[in-house]
A and B are shown apart, each in its own frame.
Chain A
């Protein structure tokens, strides 16, 4: 909030450069060669692991503390509906409506 116009540009360019570097690192260091079979067994497990961590931290944490909010309830209802094989669009709509509804009261 206290940053000047020029400082904001420094921040934006810095964040962009760091993001590019982070995304490039793995492909630059490890690409273009055959990796042993154990490597793909590990990467196959990365998707469920990272997705689960992303979902749980976005729903049950805020900053550095555990926290429950209206969106926790909305997502929980949608999770139940996904489990019962409702369509994704419907599940998302219900999650948003429940969350917005709880915040309105």
Chain B
């Protein structure tokens, strides 16, 4: 199930490689970023700060804010992970948006093997993509014109549609989406998506009659 995402990830990571080279990264630096950061939105956010002339603290802040949603995802996932603190921390590293959503059973628990299994191919292609992009960036040119940025939202939409099981989840999706959009003009990028997770707290009142 992670394979279509892995294919998409390859192209996105390749476009990261191209942009990183343009921002002054070496081929090794662009590839190592994909390998050890392995968080697309954070990588692109940090890079766009650099390109706009920002410094290291601003780039780290922008990247971490994009990553902030992983806090919410990690909290949701936590009870489904066995083992000691160290082992759980390691398993938590395998979270990426698509694998987290796929491993979600819909009852608040997660299939951790599905999580690991869908992340692994994505890690491989994410790494390969960045190398290809960094090395062959000059040939590919401007990847923006290829329309690849339309891919991820469509994949997330298909995951979202399968999550809309009942009225509760439909209202949560609507509320979360609208809250995130409302926050866009008044908070730094990344914050709106994290803040949207607050809407899930309606789970507290539902069914507690």
Residues of A whose CB lies within 8 Å of any CB of B are 1-3, 5, 7-16, 18-20, 22-35, 38-61, 63-66, 70-71, 74-75, 78-79, 82-83, 88-89, 91-92, 95-101, 103-104
Beta-carbon nearest neighbor of A4 in chain B: B24
Task: Check if B196 sits within 8 Å of A49, measured CB to CB.
Answer: yes
Complex Cα–Cα for A49 and B175 (A): 7
Chosen A-B contacts, 22 in total, with CB atoms closer than 8 Å, are A8-B24, A8-B26, A11-B60, A12-B32, A16-B33, A42-B76, A42-B108, A49-B173, A50-B197, A52-B174, A54-B69, A55-B157, A57-B180, A57-B192, A61-B181, A74-B150, A75-B150, A75-B154, A82-B158, A83-B161, A103-B144, A104-B145
Task: Check if A82 sits within 8 Å of B161, measured CB to CB.
Answer: yes
Tell me which residues across on chain A come within 8 A of B200, comparing CB atoms: 42-43, 45-46, 49
Task: Check if B154 sits within 8 Å of A78, measured CB to CB.
Answer: yes
| Smallest beta-carbon distance A103→chain B, Å | 5
Tell me which residues across on chain B come within 8 A of A47, comparing CB atoms: 100-101, 104, 106, 159, 163, 169
Task: Check if A52 sits within 8 Å of B150, measured CB to CB.
Answer: no
Task: Check if A11 sits within 8 Å of B78, measured CB to CB.
Answer: no
| CB within 8 Å for A41 and B147 given contacts A46-B197, A50-B176, A75-B153 | no
The answer, among B67, B70, B79, B154, for a CB contact under 8 Å with A39, is B79
Residues of B whose CB lies within 8 Å of any CB of A are 4, 8, 23-26, 29, 32-33, 36-39, 42-43, 46, 50-51, 53, 56, 59-60, 63-64, 67-79, 81-85, 88-89, 91-93, 95, 97, 100-101, 104, 106-109, 144-161, 163-164, 168-170, 172-181, 184-185, 187-189, 192-193, 196-197, 199-204, 206-208
Task: Check if B173 sits within 8 Å of A22, measured CB to CB.
Answer: no
Task: Check if A25 sits within 8 Å of B71, measured CB to CB.
Answer: yes
Beta-carbon nearest neighbor of B57 in chain A: A14
Tell me which residues across on chain A come within 8 A of B161, comparing CB atoms: 82-83
Complex Cα–Cα for A12 and B56 (A): 10
Report, nearest first, the 5 A-B pairs whose CB atoms are least far apart.
A26-B74, A40-B108, A99-B147, A49-B176, A100-B147
Task: Check if B151 sits within 8 Å of A50, measured CB to CB.
Answer: no
Tell me which residues across on chain B come within 8 A of A45, comparing CB atoms: 168-169, 172, 199-200, 202-203
Complex Cα–Cα for A73 and B42 (A): 25
